[in-house]
Amino acid sequence: MQRRLLTATAVLALSLLSFQPAALAEPTAGKFTYSFTVHEDGSISMVANFTAAEAGVAWIMVPKWREYGLTYEGVTKTSLQVDTPYYFYSNLTFEFSEGAWLAINYSYRFGSFIVEPNGVFFSTLVGYDPRYPGEVLVNLPVRFTVEATYLDGSRRSPDGETIRGDVRVLRFDIREEEPPGHRIMVVFKSPEEYAEFSNITVGKLTIVSPKRYLDVAENVSRIYLKFQPAVSEVTDVPEIPITLRFFIPSDPDQIAVLGFTSVTNPAALTEDVITPGKVSLNLMLVRYPESYMPETLVHELLHQYMLRAGLSTELRWAHEGMAQYISYLILRTRGYPEAGQEDINLSILVYKELGRLGFLEDWRGGEMPGDPALYYSASLYVFWNLGEKYGGLEFYKRFFKLIREDKAEVDELSELIYYLSLAAGEDLGPYFRELGFNVPLQPMLADPLEAKTAYAMRILNGTRYLNPLAPQVRGLIDAARGYRLVGDLESAYRALDEATALAVLGPLVPISLASALATLLTSLTAKGGTVSEQARELERRLALLLFEKPVTRWELAREVLRLSKSRDYERALMEALEKAEVSGLEPFWT
């Protein structure tokens, strides 16, 4: 979901630079002042004033969907322009005489969010004629401790701070001719250490919500009941237990993170991995257009259900692209006919600009790519294009049904293309090759075990001169074929997984061996050459195990470090050797 917001922000910024509500005369002496008051319950009151010393014309942005108060004196003409780059705001242009003033006021429940002890104020739009100077005042209860302040997404200290009774006033000055449209963000702490929470349970979903936002949780529960059956239908996975929590952003970047499925502390958001059964939604969603809440919830649910269906997060790019496209399709069947269209249009532009999207293969597991917007758009294009050609939701229903029937874990590109090809009824290898993916030339509708074998062999062939474990890799591939002949497909897949791992890690063994031997030599030197011949023989056998049984090499490295500190060195070596020989006979996947 972060990708969509980055896109929207960029498009909005470009449109604002060219936004001219009217052909205005030269500015006269005047000033805009915005005053935001944050209340104890998180709601805000806003008053925007304009004062003029001379006659002239100016404009200010006013709420499009929310009621507001408008008072003025000396204003001779007004005109309202609804068609603006802002979804939530219209443009009010006004002409005025000398000494005129104009004031707009409104209240907003979600102007700030408080989940004790954390709180954040994120202003509504500060939008006015940039030919005039302006200032923004943020009034906070003095008992709130200010942690950080931001102007337009950048860290910015207030230009002034005063205490007036029980209110702390922060002042931010905005110079003339700065681009229009500003936001102030204040991160603060409440003296209360803990928030009160309540649980709402619908089906197998449990929502853990701060009590002050219980109505938001109830709305999410209704959305869940409306859309969850469609998620199960597409992925062929019955309803699964999910625990959902809300979080609040603590810096401007986190405002763009609408939802995630991470075990990380929501206040930190330092990881980006899918954790089964856990979903978090940003409370900022209540400030976005109506479709964002269901779209985000469905997106995160799809991650959970696709993971359960067998689509591994090792193919992270596929997880994100599918979750985005399928969530749009689901929303379109349930009251949101234009869901995701802007994102799809952008993804098409990205493809037309780049042509080859094979760089997506590098996006695996829990790491976020360097340019999330680019990767999200590119991954969306891959699965939007397939869906448009092969039947949309029905195509992806067939895809997940096939995975479920085979009880497969799709964690390699070859397996992904194999099942997509089955769902499409034709070989999709050429499609992915044309997009720049590293796809073997053999038909991808071949048996998935053969596709996985080809992947392992391709890695091995690329590193065979550097890989001392090449014989083990080939042996495991042969073993997988033997397992297949006797019908033990599970063992065949596991053998191929180990073969792939050794093909990748094999070139690292000489480095590991050198490190382990260096440690052994250091331990000998430290013992003054008093080690017995039997101990030396044990050391030699341990070192050889780094080649003979490479799956234990990391454990052996740890053992050597431990042994160097042992009083009974020879006995400890014997114990380590016995452990290594036993563990070395065990498959590394157990």
Residue in 468, 559, 476 with CA at minimum distance from that of residue 510: 468
What average pLDDT does this structure show over 549-554?
Answer: 42
Residue in the structure block whose two tokens are 């070989």 = 427
What average pLDDT does this structure show over 313-327?
Answer: 95
Counting residues of the chain whose pLDDT is more than 90, the rounded percentage is 56
pTM, full prediction: 0.73
pLDDT, tens only, 379-438: 999 999 999 999 999 999 999 999 999 888 898 898 899 899 999 999 999 999 999 998
What are the tokens at 101?
């003033």
pLDDT exceeds cutoff 70 at 55: yes
What average pLDDT does this structure show over 277-286?
Answer: 94
Residue 212, Ramachandran bin (φ over 0: left; ψ between -120 and 50: alpha; else beta): alpha
pLDDT, tens only, 199-227: 999 999 999 999 999 999 999 999 999 99
SS3 482: helix
pLDDT of residue 273: 56
Residue in the structure block whose two tokens are 């109505």 = 215
* DSSP letter for each residue of 264-281: S-TTT-------TTEEEE
What are the tokens at 514?
């050198």
What are the tokens at 263?
């075990």
DSSP3 helix / strand / coil % (the chain, rounded to 5): 45, 25, 30
43 confidence band (pLDDT: 50, 70, 90):
very high
Torsion, Cα 426 428 431 436, to 10 degrees, reads -170
CA triple 435-439-442, angle to 5 deg: 125
Asked if 589 contacts 497 with a C-beta cutoff of 8 angstroms, the reply is yes
pLDDT, tens only, 335-365: 999 999 999 999 999 999 999 999 999 888 7
Q: Comparing 73-87, 121-135, 566-580, which segment has the lowest mean pLDDT?
A: 566-580
Residue length of the chain: 590
What average pLDDT does this structure show over 293-303?
Answer: 96
Query: How would you classify the pairing of strands 242-247 and 205-210?
Result: parallel
Report the b/e string of 524-559 with b at 16+ CB within 10 A: beeeeeebeeebeebbebbbebbeebbbbbebbeeb
What average pLDDT does this structure show over 247-257?
Answer: 90
pLDDT exceeds cutoff 90 at 112: yes
DSSP state of 291: T
What are the tokens at 444?
């991808």
Distances, alpha carbon 120 to alpha carbons 189, 449, 518, in Å: 8, 52, 53
